[in-house]
Structure 1
Amino acid sequence: MKSYFFTQHSYKTQTQSSNILQQKITMSSYNQLSLFSTILLFLLLASILSAEKCHPDDKKTLFKIKKAFNNADMFASWTHDTDCCEWYLVSCDETTNRIISLSVNRDDEVAGHIPDTVGDLPYLEQLIFTDLPKLTGPIPQTISKLKNLKFLWLSHNNLTGSIPDFFGRLTKLTYINLSVNKLTGPIPPSVSSLHKLGALFLERNQLKGTIPASFGGFKNNPDFYLKLAKNQLYGPLPKSLGAVNFSVLDLNRNMFTGDASMLFGTNKGLQSIDISRNKFSFDLSKVRFPKELNVIELSHNMIYGSIPPTLAKQEHIQSFNVSYNRLCGKIPSSQELKSVDKYSYAHNKCLCGSPLPPCKK
């Protein structure tokens, strides 16, 4: 019996030891497998994270643009071993990973012409070259290939040549800013075919000619911004402009003539108008100001008549100037007009009343 007991006990002990060993082996294998899986997952994630998103064709085009600007320091982040979607000055679409924005601005080192290769970024929606004093030459024809372009900002450079007629074919454009350059020639009528355009800034160039009559086509563009100031534009305004719902209109320092009264009206959303320093001639007493109008700059013209009493009902007037015209009569009085000084009424035919001397009885 004793022998049998020890034999049975020994057998149980061996069995238990075997089970424990097997469990340890199993746990060890599981831990090794878990570690191996973790390493594979890490490598997979690292591979995904390190994979370049930028399309190779876009990357090649961007390197050509960099080379065209003599590898200026602004493009230092543009290197072969980095993802161009992460580069400074550009951005990619989150879905397609194609370049949709190129913004080169505020740099004295960037010199030369806008490279033709910008037209080889077919998904581009936003193109900005601004505040680059050494950027010269014409607006390249290749921009006409950018059928997805919505936002074009080429201001404060030294661009020359004319405004391209092809702009009218870029039907998705909502914003054009070519201000403060040395552009010459007329304003192409084709621009008015851009039915999504909300802002056209052409001020401070050397443009000549008249405002195209086709600009009345902007009548369906809500809250339109038009700035043509400080050019060499001339002639009467087309009557079709009266149908456009301007929010901001700036025509100052040109050589426009004739009637500009069609720009006003109580049913319009005009907030700011500057037609100063032209040769406009119309009866101001017949003008009715839009309710939201708060900037009214009419100085240095040949405007006649009197200041309409309805001006006193305008709310939130920020700026008002009718000096150097041919106005006569009493200046309307209101709380809103108290901030307007006498110089804003000076050099007229016979205006009177505060802040000028009292009217004669």
Structure 2
Amino acid sequence: MDKTTTLLCFLFFFTLFLTTSLSKDLCHKDDKKTLLKIQKSLNNPYTIISWDPKEDCCSWVSVECGDATVNRRVTSLDISDDPASGQIPPEVGDLPYLQTLIFRKLPNLTGEIQPTIAKLKYLRFLWLSWNSLTGPVPEFLSQLKSLDYINLSFNKLSGSIPASLSLLPKLEFLELSRNKLTGPIPESFGSFKGKVPDLFLSHNQLSGSIPKSLGNLDFNRIDFSRNKLQGDASLLFGAKKTTFCIDLSRNMFQFDTSKVNISKTVNRLDLNHNGITGSIPVQWTELSLQFFNVSYNRLCGPIPKGGDLQRFDSYEYLHNKCLCGAPLQRCSEDSSNQALSLKFITRIN
């Protein structure tokens, strides 16, 4: 065997030995201690019951680590679909390199959102939904400048929405639906520091008018449904915007649809159960709609023919003042006269 072959064999076996030795515990010892404290704090839930102190914590279920070869730091913790009981362990704040934190579908997870989360300066993805969390949406979230995703839906959070959330420079998704939030939509939401995020605030008890500043933004997806919002919501529309989905259903909005131009990019439009007046514009026949509902309003006049408007059944048009035409009943002469009167009154006003 020549010297080159001998050297290559030596390097191969040395590398194999080194890799085997190091792979026994690549996880940083402080992170491992912290994870074991979290396990104990949650009463050793079934999902993570397999965590073994003798094994590398980077190999544990629900845990991910960074790419460094030695002393890898925990970057992701995902505990979901478990009867785990207790509160969010304060020790989560002692995982300094955490980028993703998920506590989801833990119905027995109670208490307020843990303030030690404010220590996680690298956190990008925060998903705390389908739990039983109480208390406010914390102000400290605005300190986490790396956050681009926040989902706190399906909890029992109360109080107002912090205006400071608009200060997050990388935020792309904000989901606060199905809580008990009150008060108005913050005026500051008309001036997000970075990209305009997808905004989901449905199924709360929000009140007041939509801030005029929101009219200057080009939202991709927006859902304000099932609140107590009122006033003119037409400012959210615009022919030059790139909105894909807009749901304003089951509020107390009042505006004239005949004056509203909607972007051709709109795919889902839900306006049911409001006090919306006017007629359905012919321009709406240009939309490629997968979902559409204008029922339980005060719309009048014939439904324009063409596009996708006749593809939906009568349910999406029911209980309006004098709306007619397919898929509803044929328009009578009285209906046409009412529609003309309505347009005349609208022009005068």
Equivalent residue for 2:126, pick from 144, 147, 152: 152
Superposition TM-score, scaled by structure 2 size: 0.89
Equivalent residue for 1:104, pick from 54, 75, 79: 79
What displacement does 1:312 show? 0.8
Q: Which residue of 2 aligns with 1:327?
A: 299
Q: Residue 289 of structure 1 aligns to a residue in which SS?
A: coil
What displacement does 1:41 show? 3.5
Q: Which residue of 1 aligns with 2:290?
A: 318
**Mapped pair 1:357 → 2:329:** yes
Q: How does 1:190-339 map to 2 (within 5 A)?
A: 190-218=164-192, 220-222=194-196, 224-315=197-288, 317-339=289-311
Q: Residue 258 of structure 2 aligns to a residue in which SS?
A: helix
The residue type equivalent to 2:267 in the other structure is N
Structure with more of its chain in helix, by fraction: 1
Q: How does 1:31-110 map to 2 (within 5 A)?
A: 41=14, 44-45=17-18, 47-95=20-68, 97-108=72-83, 110=84
Is the deviation greater in 67-76 or in 292-301? 67-76
What displacement does 1:77 show? 2.8
CA deviation map 1:239-292 (0-9, x unaligned): 011122211111111000000001100111111111011000011111111111
CA deviation map 1:202-261 (0-9, x unaligned): 111000100000001227414x21111110100000001112221111111100000000
Q: Residue 273 of structure 1 aligns to a residue in which SS?
A: strand
What displacement does 1:37 show? 5.7
What displacement does 1:43 show? 7.5
What displacement does 1:40 show? 6.8
Does the 8 Å contact 1:249/1:273 carry over to 2?
Answer: yes
Does the 8 Å contact 1:220/1:244 carry over to 2?
Answer: no
Does the 8 Å contact 2:167/2:193 carry over to 1?
Answer: no
Distance 1:44 1:178 in 2: 46
Q: Cα RMSD (Å) of the superposition?
A: 2.0
Q: Residue 44 of structure 1 aligns to a residue in which SS?
A: helix
The 1:64–1:304 alpha-carbon spacing in structure 2 relative to 1, beyond 3 Å, is same
The 1:219–1:60 alpha-carbon spacing in structure 2 relative to 1, beyond 3 Å, is closer
Does the 8 Å contact 1:219/1:244 carry over to 2?
Answer: no
Distance 1:296 1:219 in 2: 27
Does the 8 Å contact 1:221/1:245 carry over to 2?
Answer: no
Does the 8 Å contact 2:177/2:203 carry over to 1?
Answer: yes
Does the 8 Å contact 2:286/2:307 carry over to 1?
Answer: no
* Bigger CA radius of gyration: 1
What displacement does 1:360 show? 2.3
Consecutive unaligned residues in structure 2, runs of 5 or more: 334-349
Q: Residue 246 of structure 1 aligns to a residue in which SS?
A: coil
What displacement does 1:71 show? 1.8
Q: Residue 208 of structure 1 aligns to a residue in which SS?
A: strand
The 1:114–1:322 alpha-carbon spacing in structure 2 relative to 1, beyond 3 Å, is same
Distance 1:90 1:251 in 2: 35
Q: Residue 192 of structure 2 aligns to a residue in which SS?
A: helix
Distance 1:141 1:134 in 2: 19
What displacement does 1:39 show? 11
The 1:312–1:76 alpha-carbon spacing in structure 2 relative to 1, beyond 3 Å, is same
**Mapped pair 1:343 → 2:315:** yes
What displacement does 1:183 show? 0.4
**Mapped pair 1:136 → 2:110:** yes
Q: Residue 159 of structure 1 aligns to a residue in which SS?
A: coil
Q: Residue 144 of structure 1 aligns to a residue in which SS?
A: helix
What's the % identity of the aligned pairs? 51
Superposition TM-score, scaled by structure 1 size: 0.86
The 1:261–1:71 alpha-carbon spacing in structure 2 relative to 1, beyond 3 Å, is same
The residue type equivalent to 2:65 in the other structure is C
CA deviation map 1:10-61 (0-9, x unaligned): xxxxxxxxxxxxxxxxx9xx9xx99x96997488346534441111111111
